[in-house]
Structure 1
């Protein structure tokens, strides 16, 4: 197996998928009848990687009973013409078309992109409401909120976004003005930050408590750069922030996104992809901390595909999640795998049930 490929797996810009390496690992599907709503994936067509409906369906059709999904923004298919402030509406239009294709039933019972999380620049302040209204008008049955990534760190090893946000975005006065619009419109905010920024997120939630918040990727615990070799200190700081954030009843958490290199695990470098047992063992302290803090009713497993596909296949990933949920009751598992996502994104309740 090429060492060059090992270096590219999961490295910025997070588009390289080593299919030959992933094919070296397979395992039977655990609990194949359990309904799943995947609340976090992307779609894009980029120079070095394509992940559109066929690629998504190929992953969803690997044995797990995925009933529906939620698309989360990734600056895909923005409008090339017109007022630049409304360019992001193009992404919502694009994904709503994909969702309509899936809703036709031509591609099976799964309802891909049943919820859409777009992006609107909240630093537009009050004007953000006009852009949000335009997004909602393009997908009135599916547009549920926005994500404006705030993940920023002084270390280039940690801060790897193609278009990094400004430092302290969550504290910007114009951003907060736009953020307040979300709650008034009944929309949610997906928060992507690194763990040192969690106190800023807590401040934001307290300042504008009417906006529902979905914390992405276990709160962005970093294990690279200045955080490498400081596991105990980082874990303690991260856990304290997670517990504090969970005290805010309008916040829920996504359990995933830990297949990225950000977490500091070495799975990408190994000659064989990890098993679901290996992933569950490595991820357990973080996942269990979040579930203990938020409870199953405000926690939801997520794929973060295709980004986390650099680490493992869709089949192995959800097997790992099912192993992590082994100690929970059936009702709690229903929440973790579908119910919490349905409530957070106001999706049809039928998605929590097995397909007829």
Structure 2
């Protein structure tokens, strides 16, 4: 079974904050993207299940996305949001955690003005709540935040953590020096995983090629092994630089030399294990 571990939906008529879509460079994705649109894409490449990942710091989006997941069987899970810094964090989590399709939490850490937001005492109390309830956590980091990943993993050894988009290395400039050491340090912690996602939008949108992505994928596979790496399309954000089919196929090409079992991990088994989907024996 092939699982896309990272995709989004949005509907602009809803009362959510989609202001970032109004930026001129985001014109191509400044419209609704809903399950029917994704289904057309995944059917082209054989993806059977997907994981929706939050875009809002708003529990109402959790409710909306879970409603979509109830109606569309291919949506295997929802990574939602709770206010990690709030005393109400656990109360918010308890509303959702027993829903079988609620599989994780993410906070858009990359947009926080405080680079040390994720290691603040109040936020760490929230992460302790996630660890207590066994709810996985997606890290949306820029490279500058990556130094915190290993620290968090050590402090919360029973909290499954996944680094989204390889922490957004500077693929366009082909720079690794500011990224690779902290990335490898994070990989030394057995509870940290990595999404092979979001790479085309860190490359040159107009002129990227597979060779631009390959060193980053290979570094991730070496550091984490395929058993802790998972495919994610980052659709529809990927549409800024590539079609869904192109994103899927380029990763298939790069990991082609790996064994069948290693490719099965990347394209399904790792996500199945990390998010507790129970879809693959």
| Same fold by TM-score greater than 0.5 | yes
The 2-side partners of 1:289 and 1:36 are apart by 23
Aligned pairs for 1:159-170 (under 5 A) are: 161=111, 164-170=112-118
Task: State the Cα distance separating 1:57 from its structure 2 match.
Answer: 1.4
Alignment counterpart, residue 63 of structure 2, candidates 53, 77, 93: 93
Task: State the Cα distance separating 1:267 from its structure 2 match.
Answer: 3.1
Correspondence 1:267 to 2:205? yes
Correspondence 1:222 to 2:170? yes
Point out where structure 2 has 5 or more consecutive residues left out of the alignment. Answer: 14-29
Alignment counterpart, residue 143 of structure 2, candidates 195, 207, 215: 195
Task: State the Cα distance separating 1:292 from its structure 2 match.
Answer: 0.6
Equivalent residue number for residue 130 of structure 1? 91
Distance 1:165 1:70, change over 3 A: farther
Question: Which structure carries more relative contact order (alpha carbon 8 Å, separation 6+)?
Answer: 1
Equivalent residue number for residue 102 of structure 1? 72
The 1-side partners of 2:36 and 2:279 are apart by 26
Equivalent residue number for residue 332 of structure 1? 262
The 1-side partners of 2:227 and 2:93 are apart by 28
TM-score when scaled to structure 1? Answer: 0.71
Task: State the Cα distance separating 1:165 from its structure 2 match.
Answer: 4.8
The 1-side partners of 2:45 and 2:171 are apart by 30
Correspondence 1:150 to 2:109? yes
Alignment counterpart, residue 174 of structure 1, candidates 122, 125, 137: 122
Alignment counterpart, residue 183 of structure 1, candidates 113, 120, 131: 131
Task: State the Cα distance separating 1:172 from its structure 2 match.
Answer: 0.8
Aligned length: 265
The 2-side partners of 1:36 and 1:338 are apart by 5
TM-score when scaled to structure 2? Answer: 0.89
Moved more, 182-191 or 44-53: 44-53
Larger radius of gyration: 1
Point out where structure 1 has 5 or more consecutive residues left out of the alignment. Answer: 1-34, 79-87, 104-110, 152-160
Task: State the Cα distance separating 1:335 from its structure 2 match.
Answer: 0.1
- Partner deviation per Cα, 1:32-69 (whole Å, 9 max, x = no partner): xxx420000011012731011121112222x2111100
Equivalent residue number for residue 7 of structure 2? 41
Equivalent residue number for residue 198 of structure 2? 257
Equivalent residue number for residue 154 of structure 2? 206
- CA root-mean-square deviation: 1.8
